[in-house]
Structure 1
């Protein structure tokens, strides 16, 4: 397992957003590629994107709000949607739990949600194991218009 040191979250800058757009994941994880994303929109504070850094180096991102929603599910306001990703070079090295935990702590301090919700591609067993190990429970399953199946998981905070 790789260790990065302390992780920090801060609003995503335009340069960091442009970097994230270049990240390419191998199939089937390429559903997470953000090649079409507008860096300006990602860096807009209203987008809810935050840089995940270690020692000043961009190692991933976390998002809070509608970005974590996938078309095809009936989302409501009962939970704060959160999502994110690691740099492709860091995927599969045992960093997911630490990254998600850092995001949850940041979200708790900033938004104080009653619950968190994550939508994870059904084939992404690594991510599903991570979020379930952090107390998320599956509440539903759906097929997005893209044909990819997703799991919806929720974790109460109170």
Structure 2
């Protein structure tokens, strides 16, 4: 539970997807902007996107599956890719750990993966610190076609 209330995940609705597509992050985090995303695709259950809410309010999202992959790495199916984001106004307020933990718990009950994999921008020290604190270990680094360096981290399921 956060100061905002208990965290919950549910499939992303179209209205929530439209809202996520308006979020803009300050540089260098603007590589996480989803302003070019199609809300209908995000809301399609096959996309793997889920709303992260606190007290019924949309505070972020989590994704499960291929959407968590970044072009430039040789991904395989040995782990479930997961990613996500918080509303730009909530970034840097210490919510990341609980947001990711809620996603992992939800993913465990819904997908039962043998391992999780996250791909995190190398400059995003806050996210890397949180992900490592949750038991993820780096298995590689690469530069995406956009020029951004990424780290690939994996955590076996317990």
User: TM-score, structure 1 length as denominator?
Assistant: 0.98
Task: Report if aligned partners of 1:9, 1:52 keep a CA contact under 8 Å in 2.
Answer: yes
> C-alpha separation between the residues in 1 aligned to 2:61 and 2:52?
5
| Residue aligning to 1:6 | 6
| Residue aligning to 1:88 | 88
| Residue aligning to 1:115 | 115
Task: Report if aligned partners of 1:3, 1:95 keep a CA contact under 8 Å in 2.
Answer: no
Alignment size in residue pairs: 157
| Residue aligning to 2:32 | 32
Task: Report if aligned partners of 1:137, 1:153 keep a CA contact under 8 Å in 2.
Answer: yes
After superposition, residues 115-154 of structure 1 pair within 5 angstroms as 115-154=115-154
> C-alpha separation between the residues in 1 aligned to 2:116 and 2:140?
14
> C-alpha separation between the residues in 2 aligned to 1:14 and 1:106?
20
Gaps of 5+ in 1: none
> C-alpha separation between the residues in 1 aligned to 2:110 and 2:154?
19
Runs of 4+ deviating beyond 3 Å: none
> C-alpha separation between the residues in 1 aligned to 2:3 and 2:55?
12
Deviation sequence 1:36-84 (CA, Å, 0-9, x none):
0000000000000000001110000000000100000000000000000
Gaps of 5+ in 2: none
State the shift of 1:3 in Å: 2.1
Deviation sequence 1:91-137 (CA, Å, 0-9, x none):
00000000000000000000000000000000000000000000000
> C-alpha separation between the residues in 2 aligned to 1:131 and 1:5?
22
C-alpha RMSD of matched pairs (Å): 0.7
